């Protein structure tokens, strides 16, 4: 054990003989522990909710979408299907047709521009719409609507817009838009709107591990070259995923302020220890300890306080998160929310981030006291502490 660490450790371990130092050190460790526990709990709570949102998103959205680089239809669907198959880890691959059109109520009184996409889960004559279009149309489950194409066809009465009658079977919360369609319908209805007999707009794949979508998309894009565009389920919901990341970052920064306050307390604790131990510093300097060595004592003190506070806080936070989730200690009314209890989920990466930031804050708190200790002149220290 380095001498500086041995001295720092002895100062902390024997501070019970000096009640005020012990109290301030305990407050420092306790403050850090509370801050870290609060941060871990907040992140776990947010992650719990966000994981549920992502799970739903991954359940309702194709994980990989291969579409044409230009035009409305995929040039080589068979080649794209083979490239997808070579990826491995596929749960299913379906072809889809998508396009733009209008969704109108049965009487054509209101019409909204929409993006439509076929889904194998929907039978002919039915549709799933987002609440963003259902609302303005005054539509709900069971309502009859009409999807109208951007193209027309010749009839005995002249050119008439192509339309298909649909009955809404599901209303999805959320705005849609971006890469996601506002309306999902059967392949036959989508083909009728798009005017394609057998061409397809793209392939939609579901993966056994949605988390690997980004890596799989990169490999697939490299293989398909510029003939196709590959998007992941994250790309299809850019607004939502950005909002989730932003929310987590803001919560982290906000709650981390508690750790910063605790770190300021570590500064005052170590500054007190510099004054308290000024005579010792003078003696050590007289015995030949260099200024850098005296500084190291306070780096070790900051590090040790940080380590204890962070470990205690991380342990408390992780333990509470686990217990709150495992035993569903915060129930939610299942008829109002989509879940029966408040979910908590702590990811190793998040915990590592909290621990890293907390230790860094504690070490940063040691900068000024360590510098002050390194500058203590032996003669002055001994004279002032007589």
Partner 1 sequence: MTEPAVRAVALSKSYGAGAAAVRVFEGLSIDVLPGEFVAVVGPSGCGKSTLLHLLAGIDSPDSGFVEIDGQRLSSLGARERAKLRNEKIGFVFQFHHLLPEFTAAENVALPLRIGSMNRAEAGRRADEILARVGLAGRGSHLPGEMSGGELQRAAVGRAIARRPRVLFADEPTGNLDHDNAERVFALLREIHGESGGSVILVTHDRDLASRCDKIFTMSPQGIESIGGNRDV
Residues that bind partner 1 (CB under 8 A): 1, 3, 6, 10-11, 14, 17, 279-280, 282-293, 377-380, 382, 386
The SS3 call for residue 235 is coil
When the beta carbons of 6 and 173 are compared against partner 1, the nearer one is 6
Question: Which residue from 273, 374, 296, 320 is spatially nearest to 42, judged by alpha carbons?
Answer: 320
Cα-Cα-Cα-Cα dihedral of 263, 264, 267, 273, to 10°? -90
What residue ranges in the chain does DSSP mark as E strands? Answer: 64-68, 90-96, 98-105, 111-118, 126-130, 144-155, 158-172, 183-185, 202-207, 228-232
For the bound state, the minimum distance from the C-beta of residue 334 to partner 1, rounded and expressed in Å, comes to: 59
When the beta carbons of 21 and 65 are compared against partner 1, the nearer one is 21
When the beta carbons of 254 and 286 are compared against partner 1, the nearer one is 286
For the bound state, the minimum distance from the C-beta of residue 366 to partner 1, rounded and expressed in Å, comes to: 19
When the beta carbons of 208 and 371 are compared against partner 1, the nearer one is 371
For the bound state, the minimum distance from the C-beta of residue 291 to partner 1, rounded and expressed in Å, comes to: 6
Q: What are phi and psi of 150, to 5 degrees?
A: -80, 0
The SS3 call for residue 104 is strand
Residue 67 CA to residue 78 CA, distance in Å, equals 13
Residue 152 CA to residue 318 CA, distance in Å, equals 61
When the beta carbons of 4 and 350 are compared against partner 1, the nearer one is 4
For the bound state, the minimum distance from the C-beta of residue 9 to partner 1, rounded and expressed in Å, comes to: 10
When the beta carbons of 286 and 340 are compared against partner 1, the nearer one is 286
For the bound state, the minimum distance from the C-beta of residue 376 to partner 1, rounded and expressed in Å, comes to: 11
Q: What are phi and psi of 76, to 5 degrees?
A: -130, 75
When the beta carbons of 11 and 344 are compared against partner 1, the nearer one is 11
When the beta carbons of 194 and 270 are compared against partner 1, the nearer one is 270
What residue ranges in 85-157 does DSSP mark as E strands? Answer: 90-96, 98-105, 111-118, 126-130, 144-155
- Which residue has tokens 């100062």? 11
Residue 151 CA to residue 193 CA, distance in Å, equals 8
Q: What are phi and psi of 165, to 5 degrees?
A: -80, 140
For the bound state, the minimum distance from the C-beta of residue 371 to partner 1, rounded and expressed in Å, comes to: 14
For the bound state, the minimum distance from the C-beta of residue 289 to partner 1, rounded and expressed in Å, comes to: 5
For the bound state, the minimum distance from the C-beta of residue 10 to partner 1, rounded and expressed in Å, comes to: 5
- Which residue has tokens 């997808």? 84
């Amino acid at each position: 054990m380095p001498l500086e660490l041995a001295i720092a450790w002895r100062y902390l371990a024997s501070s019970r003989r000096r009640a005020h130092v012990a109290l301030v050190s305990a407050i420092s460790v306790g403050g850090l522990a509370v801050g870290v526990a609060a941060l871990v709990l907040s992140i776990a709570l947010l992650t719990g909710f966000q994981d549920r949102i992502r799970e739903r998103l991954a359940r309702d959205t194709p994980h990989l979408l291969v579409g044409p680089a230009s035009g409305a239809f995929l040039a080589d669907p068979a080649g794209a299907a083979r490239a997808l198959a070579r990826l491995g880890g596929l749960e299913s691959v379906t072809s889809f047709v998508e396009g733009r059109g209008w969704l109108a109520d049965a009487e054509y009184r209101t019409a909204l521009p929409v993006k439509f996409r076929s889904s194998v889960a929907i039978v002919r004559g039915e549709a799933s719409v987002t609440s963003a279009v259902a609302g303005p149309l005054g539509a709900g489950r069971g309502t009859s609507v009409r999807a109208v194409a951007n193209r027309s066809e010749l009839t005995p009465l002249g050119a008439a817009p192509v339309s298909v009658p649909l009955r809404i079977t599901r209303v999805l919360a959320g705005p849609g838009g971006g890469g996601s369609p506002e309306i999902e319908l059967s392949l036959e209805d989508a083909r009728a709107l798009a005017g394609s007999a057998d061409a397809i707009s793209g392939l939609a794949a579901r993966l056994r591990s949605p988390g690997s979508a980004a890596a799989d998309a990169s490999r697939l894009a490299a293989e398909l070259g510029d003939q196709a565009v590959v998007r992941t389920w994250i790309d299809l919901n850019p607004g939502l995923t950005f909002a989730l990341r932003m929310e987590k970052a803001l919560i982290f920064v906000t709650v981390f302020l508690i750790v910063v306050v605790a770190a300021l307390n570590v500064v005052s604790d170590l500054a007190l220890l510099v004054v308290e131990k000024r005579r010792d510093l003078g003696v050590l300097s007289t015995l030949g300890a260099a200024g850098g060595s005296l500084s190291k004592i306070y780096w070790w003190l900051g590090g040790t306080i940080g380590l204890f506070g962070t470990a205690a806080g991380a342990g408390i936070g992780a333990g509470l998160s686990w217990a709150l989730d495992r035993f569903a200690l915060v129930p939610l009314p299942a008829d109002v929310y989509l879940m029966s209890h408040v979910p908590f989920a702590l990811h190793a990466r998040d915990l590592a981030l909290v621990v890293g930031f907390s230790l860094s804050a504690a070490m940063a708190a040691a900068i000024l006291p360590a510098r002050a200790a390194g500058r203590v002149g032996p003669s002055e220290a001994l004279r002032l502490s007589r």
